Each structure stands twice: as structure tokens, then as C-alpha cells.
Amino acid sequence: MRATTRRVFVAGPAGRIECAVDSPEGSPLGYAVIAHPHPQFGGTLDNKVVQTLARAFVELGYEAWRPSFRGVGQSEGRYDEGRGEVEDLAAVVAHIAGQRIVLAGFSFGAAMQARLAARVKPERLVLVGTAVLNFDVPPVPRGSLVIHGEQDTTVPLAAVLDWARPQDLPLVVVPGAEHFFHRRLHLLRDIVESYCR
């Protein structure tokens, strides 16, 4: 399945939000909104993990939306310590207004999507390398897919287990993977596709 990527600008609370939109052939089954890593540490919508998630969802027949957080790329506004970033994601979801919405995110983006999931009730929630150390990450819905690298030193696996344990939330641990899943992106894609198929 080949995707075509286009740029779309959505009105957000701090100005326009730049989105890369990857569309499957034919009518999409639903819409996946994928959030990128921390804006102040080089996170963009072109991050390899974010692109891998987008490809997985397009393969599954979803239209994948990759917004730039405020102050990144052509998105307006300034970094807001996670408050405005959740509002930006909510604005993108509202703009799509689709029936079947999947929320996905990587690192900081995963933490923001966990916050948004409490408000918008997605069909599915996919969190990769969730930044549970520096951000308040709320409990997530049952059935959420949480993937983490065994060798992650940015967000240690033990911290994610501490967050997941009170929720009785299973994790998928990728052996040998670090935070950015170098040489393990194909495994990440397979896990997401198997979960959502």
C-alpha cells in the first residue's frame, strides 16, 4: 500500500498547526494522530519512530496525521511545558472529526497523548517510549498498547513499569531496543500492525 504525503495547516489555540498527512489508497478506515518527541530536544514529525508509526497505520488503512507541536517546523506558538501541546493535539482531532480515531505518540508525544486520551476516548491508544519521568502521565484506558525498549536509558524501563503496575497495564518490551529503537523499527512496526489488525 503506497501512501501519499501532503501538508495541512490546522487552526490551533496558539496559531496554525503544521501537519504531515499520509493517506492510504482508497477511503481510510479511520484516522491516526501521531505525536512526536520533545520539541526542545529536537523532536519533529520526521522522527524515525513517528514515521514508522505513520507507515504502520497507513498499511492498516488509516490516514496518519503527524502534527508539529507549537514552535516546531511551521507550527506557530511557543513550547508550553505540555499544557498547550495537549490543546494542539485536541485541535487536530477536532479538525479531523473522524469516527475512528487512534492516538499514538513517542516519548514526550506519548505522554501528551495519554493526557488527551482521557478527554477524547480514542478507539485505540499506542504509546512508545512513554516519558513518565518528567511529565505527569495519567492512567490510560484498558487495552492500550504500551511499547518500551529494554535498554532505554532516556526513560528507564523500571520507571515505566512503576507507572504501569498500579494500572495492571501490560507492556510490550522489545529486547535490546533503546529509546529510539535503532535497528528495531521493523519490530515496532510489526507490533503495532499486529495489535491494530
Average pLDDT of the chain, as a whole number: 96
Q: Could you tell me which residues come within 8 angstroms of residue 12 by beta carbon, excluding any fewer than 6 positions away?
A: 70, 75, 76, 77, 87, 88, 91, 92
Per-residue model confidence (pLDDT) at position 3: 60
pLDDT tens figures, 57-110: 999 999 999 999 999 999 999 999 999 999 999 999 999 998 899 999 999 999
Q: Is the pLDDT of residue 4 over 80?
A: no
Q: Which of 84, 88, 131, 73 is nearest to 106 (CA)?
A: 131
What's the domain range around 176? 4-196
H-helix segments, the chain? 48-59, 83-96, 108-120, 157-164, 185-196
Q: Is the pLDDT of residue 2 over 70?
A: no
Q: Is the pLDDT of residue 36 over 80?
A: yes
Mean pLDDT of 21-32: 95
The CATH code of the domain that includes 67 is: 3.40.50.1820
Per-residue model confidence (pLDDT) at position 181: 98
Q: Is the pLDDT of residue 143 over 50?
A: yes
> Distance between CA atoms of 63 and 178, rounded to whole angstroms?
28
Whether pTM > 0.95 for this model: the answer is yes
Per-residue model confidence (pLDDT) at position 98: 83
- How many percent of the chain have pLDDT more than 90? 96
| 150's grid cell | 529494554
pLDDT tens figures, 149-187: 999 999 999 999 999 999 999 999 999 999 999 999 999
Mean pLDDT of 9-27: 97
| 86's grid cell | 495537549
Per-residue model confidence (pLDDT) at position 158: 98
Please give the tally of structural domains in the chain: 1
Q: How confident is the model at residue 48 (pLDDT cuts 50, 70, 90)?
A: very high
